Chain A
Amino acid sequence: MAAACPAMPSTESHEMLSQLFAEHHRRILIAACRITGSMADAEDVAQAVFLRLASGKGPPIANAGSYLYRAAINGALDLLRRQKAAPAEPLEEAAGEEFVGHDSSPEADASNKELGASLRLAIGELSPRAAEMFTLRYLEELGNREIAVLMETSQAVVAVTLHHARSRLKKRLRELERGTI
Chain B
Amino acid sequence: MRRDDETLLKAAVVAMQADEPDGEQITASAERVAGRLGIDFVASAIESCGDVAQLLPSYRAGDLPSARSLLIEAHLRECGACRSQFRNASRPAIVNWSAPAAARATAWQPRRFGWAMAACFALMACTFFLYKAYWQVPPGVRAEVQSIDGSAWRISNAGNRQLFRGDKLTEGEQLRTSGGAHAVLRLTDGSTVEVNERSVLGVGARGHNMTITLDNGAVIVQAAKRDFGHLYVKTPDCRVAVTGTVFSVNSGIKGSRVAVLQGSVHVVHAGVDSLIQAGDQVATSDNLDPAPVDQQIAWSHDHEKYLPLLAQFSVLRQRIEEIPFPQPRYSSDLLQRVPAGTLLYISIPNLGDFLSEADGIFQDQLSKSPALQQWWAHGQGNNTADLDALVEKVHQMSQYLGEEIVIVGVNQPGNPGFAVIADVQRGGLDDFLGKQFAPSTSTHGLTVFDESSLNAAPVSAPAKGAGYALVRQHEAVFSNSIALLKQIDAQLNVGASGFATGDFGQQITAAYSRGAGIILAADLHQMMASRPNSSGANHPGASRVEWPAREPLEPAIHGNTPASCLMAGCPCLHGFARLRHTQRGGCGGGAFQRPEADRRRHHVDDRAGQRCAE
Contact = CB atoms under 8 A, between A and B. Distances in A.
B20 A17 contact: no
B15 interface: yes
Interface in B150-183: none
B15 A112 contact: yes
Given A18-B41, A171-B5, A174-B5, A37 B19 contact: yes
Main secondary structure of the interface of B (DSSP, over half): helix
A35 interface: yes
Given A26-B26, A37-B16, 8 more contacts: A19-B67, A22-B71, A26-B74, A30-B21, A34-B16, A39-B21, A115-B15, A116-B18
B107 interface: no
Contacts of A138: 13
| Contact residues on A (Cβ < 8 Å of other chain), bracket | 35 or more
Most interface-central of A25, A37, A138, A170 (chain B CB within 10 A): A25
Contacts of A19: 66-67, 70
Interface stretch (A82-90, A99-107, A124-132, A146-154): A99-107
A80 B255 CA distance: 116
Interface residues of B, number: 36
B11 interface: yes
A71 interface: no
A73 interface: no
12 contacts: A18-B39, A18-B41, A21-B30, A22-B74, A25-B33, A29-B21, A101-B19, A103-B18, A112-B11, A116-B12, A169-B12, A171-B5
A61 to B, nearest CB: 12
A113 interface: yes
A155 B19 CA distance: 28
Contacts of B40: 18
B490 interface: no
Q: Which 10 A-B pairs rank lowest in CB-CB distance, beginning with the nearest?
A: A170-B5, A119-B12, A116-B15, A112-B15, A22-B70, A18-B39, A115-B15, A25-B30, A115-B12, A116-B16
Contacts of A113: 15
Given A22-B74, A29-B26, A173 B19 contact: no
Nearest to A135: B16
A139 B78 CA distance: 15
Interface in A15-52: 17-19, 21-27, 29-30, 33-35, 37, 39, 42-43, 46-47, 50-51
A177 B8 contact: yes
B29 A46 contact: yes
B52 to A, nearest CB: 12
A145 interface: no
A125 B93 CA distance: 54
B5 A173 contact: yes
A120 interface: yes
A6 B71 CA distance: 24
A120 B15 CA distance: 10
A170 B18 contact: no
A125 to B, nearest CB: 14
Interface in B96-120: none
Nearest to A24: B74
A23 B74 contact: yes
A102 B66 CA distance: 32
A34 B16 CA distance: 6
A77 interface: no
A94 to B, nearest CB: 15
Contacts of A33: 19-21
Interface string B1-42: 000011011011111111111100110011011101101111
A103 B20 CA distance: 11
Given A26-B30, A170-B8, A21 B39 contact: yes
B273 interface: no
B196 to A, nearest CB: 96
A164 interface: no
B307 to A, nearest CB: 101
Contacts of A23: 70-71, 73-74
B8 A27 contact: no
A34 B19 contact: yes
Contact of B37 (A37, A51, A170): A51
Contacts of A116: 12, 15-16, 18-19
A119 B15 contact: yes
Nearest to B14: A112
Given A23-B70, A119-B12, A99 B29 contact: no
A112 B11 CA distance: 8
Contacts of A46: 29, 33
B9 A42 contact: no
